[in-house]
Structure 1
Amino acid sequence: MSLEHLKNKLVKQFLCATQISAVHFDEMTDTDVSLILDLLTHDTLQNFPLKTPYVAKFLKKMINQMEKKENELCDEIYYKYIELIQKDPNEGPFYKHYAFNSDETDEIKSILTIQESTSIVSHGTTGLCTWQAGIAMACWCLRNKHLLDNRVIMELGCGTGLSGLSACINCKPREYWFTDCHSAVLDVLKNNIQVNQNLHTFNCKFKVVQLSWDNIGDVKLNYETKPDLVLAADVVFDQNMFDPLCDALKWLMMNGTTEIYLFCTQRNPETFKTFQEKLKSCNLNFKRDILPDNYSILLQQDCPIYVIHIK
Structure 2
Amino acid sequence: MSCKTAEDVSDRFQASFFAMCRLHAFQWDALETELKASSEPSGVILDILKKTCLHSICCKTPPSVRYRRLFLLELIKRHERTAAEPLDELYDALAEVVGAEEEPVCYKTYLLPSGEPVSLEENVAFISEGTTGLVTWEAALYLSEWALENPHVFAGRTVLELGSGAGLTGIVVCRACKPTKYVFSDCHESVLQRLRNNVHHNGLTEHGNPKSVSACVEELVWESVSDEQLQRIGADVVIAADVVYDPDIIGCLVRLLAKLLVFKKEQHLEVYIASTIRNPRTYDCFRDELEKAGLKHLVITHPVAHIFPYTRAATIEMLKLHC
Q: TM-score range by the shorter chain?
A: 0.7 to 0.9
- Deviations for 1:222-269, whole angstroms, at most 9, x for unmatched residues? 3x9631110101101111110111111111111212111111111222
Q: Residues of 2 paired with 1:127 and 1:20: CA distance?
A: 13
Q: Residues of 1 paired with 2:144 and 2:170: CA distance?
A: 7
- Which residues of 2 match residues 35-114 of structure 1 at below 5 A? 35-38=47-50, 39-89=52-102, 91-101=103-113, 108=114, 110-114=116-120
User: What's the counterpart of residue 261 of structure 2?
Assistant: 253
Q: Residues of 1 paired with 2:44 and 2:312: CA distance?
A: 24
User: What's the counterpart of residue 231 of structure 1?
Assistant: 239
Quick one: structure 1 residues 127 and 302, their matched pair in 2 at CA, closer, same or farther if it must change by over 3 Å? closer
User: What's the counterpart of residue 300 of structure 2?
Assistant: 289
User: What's the counterpart of residue 46 of structure 2?
Assistant: 34
Quick one: structure 1 residues 289 and 72, their matched pair in 2 at CA, closer, same or farther if it must change by over 3 Å? farther
How many residue pairs match? The answer is 295
Q: Residues of 2 paired with 1:141 and 1:150: CA distance?
A: 14
Q: Is the 8 A contact 1:290 1:304 kept in 2?
A: no
User: What's the counterpart of residue 26 of structure 2?
Assistant: 23
Displacement of 1:86 in angstroms is 4.2
Gaps of 5+ in 2: 1-6, 35-40
Is 2:195 the counterpart of 1:195? no
- Which residues of 2 match residues 144-223 of structure 1 at below 5 A? 144-197=150-203, 203-217=212-226, 220-222=229-231
Larger Rg: 2
Q: Residues of 1 paired with 2:175 and 2:228: CA distance?
A: 25
Is 2:124 the counterpart of 1:118? yes
Q: Is the 8 A contact 2:297 2:320 kept in 1?
A: yes
Q: Which amino acid aligns with 2:91?
A: Y
Q: Is the 8 A contact 2:45 2:79 kept in 1?
A: no
Q: Residues of 2 paired with 1:53 and 1:294: CA distance?
A: 31
Q: Which amino acid aligns with 1:66?
A: H
Gaps of 5+ in 1: 102-107
Q: Residues of 2 paired with 1:191 and 1:243: CA distance?
A: 30
User: What's the counterpart of residue 248 of structure 2?
Assistant: 240
Name the TM-score, length of structure 2 as normaliser: 0.81
Displacement of 1:296 in angstroms is 2.3
Q: Which one is further off, 232-241 or 79-88?
A: 79-88
Displacement of 1:193 in angstroms is 1.8
Q: Which amino acid aligns with 2:64?
A: K
